Amino acid sequence: MECDIGISTIERDGYLDVPMVRHQGSVATAGRDMVAEEYPVALVYNGIAHAVMMATPRDLEEFAVGFTLTEGIVGSVRDIYDLDVCCGEDSAEVRLTIAQPDLVKLKARRRALTGRTGCGVCGIESLALLDLVPEKITRPLPPLVASSAILGRAARELLPYQELMHKTGGVHAAAWCTAEGAIVKVFEDVGRHNGLDKLIGYLALHRIAMHDGFVFLSSRASYELVRKSARMHIGLVATISAPTSLAIRIARQAGMQLASFCRRDGFVDYTADDGEDGGQHAP
């Protein structure tokens, strides 16, 4: 069952066809290439500008819903009453109407961030607002546990879903997978945290239980990706690349499983009780 938020949006392709000159040794060849589109997206809550993020301008309704949830602006998608996406030539504005108690809390946070492509926490006014101590997540019984079989399946299946990556070579992917490792939905963006927000927004809008599967990311595991996932009580985050020390710390504090260096035949578990349960680094 889908959520009944009022949504108005205009889609863009997420890439541009640009002129270029390719140099190979002493030979220069003029041509055209497709590049990922990077585009400022302003998020406005009840008429108050809150954040400007640099994102790929597609799936912006999912992005706005996911950002609103993973940043703790609202506690439930039911607290988002309306959403309108207005796309211009060089920027977009997403206007959301949220519940009044959530707006009061948002104003109290005194947060105004301007995020760059690789940064999900730029503009935080103090270290206290980084929210580095997550609550323990609620995991189903029995909990989903990473294995080479399910993560290997996700690693094998991801590539065909990466449409923008095939075209541009310059975006990250965030995938939702079943407990068996089958990929359900993939979102892509120039910012890895934006891709995750789009994915979580989609799950929330379609009322897909977030404890029934796991997140699989084509990027490294950084602090903001694990923190956003913890806030949504996602028990397993898996990444193709390496984790950071703070990502591991947040995952352990939240009671999550963090699996990185995921390949078709193995992975590394950075949240196991001992240091030998997570497989080996893949080449």
Catalytic residues: 119
The beta strand positions in 37-167, using DSSP E, are 39-45, 48-55, 80-87, 92-98, 113-115
SS3 43: strand
| Separation CA 80–CA 72 (nearest Å) | 12
| Separation CA 146–CA 162 (nearest Å) | 23
CA-closest candidate to residue 272, choices 254, 247, 252, 253? 252
- Quick one: DSSP state of residue 161? G
Strand partners, 92: 41, 87
Residue 55 falls in which region: left (phi positive, over 0), alpha (psi -120 to 50) or beta:
beta
SS3 137: coil
| Separation CA 16–CA 267 (nearest Å) | 35
| Separation CA 74–CA 47 (nearest Å) | 16
Neighbours of 232 (CB within 10 A): 17
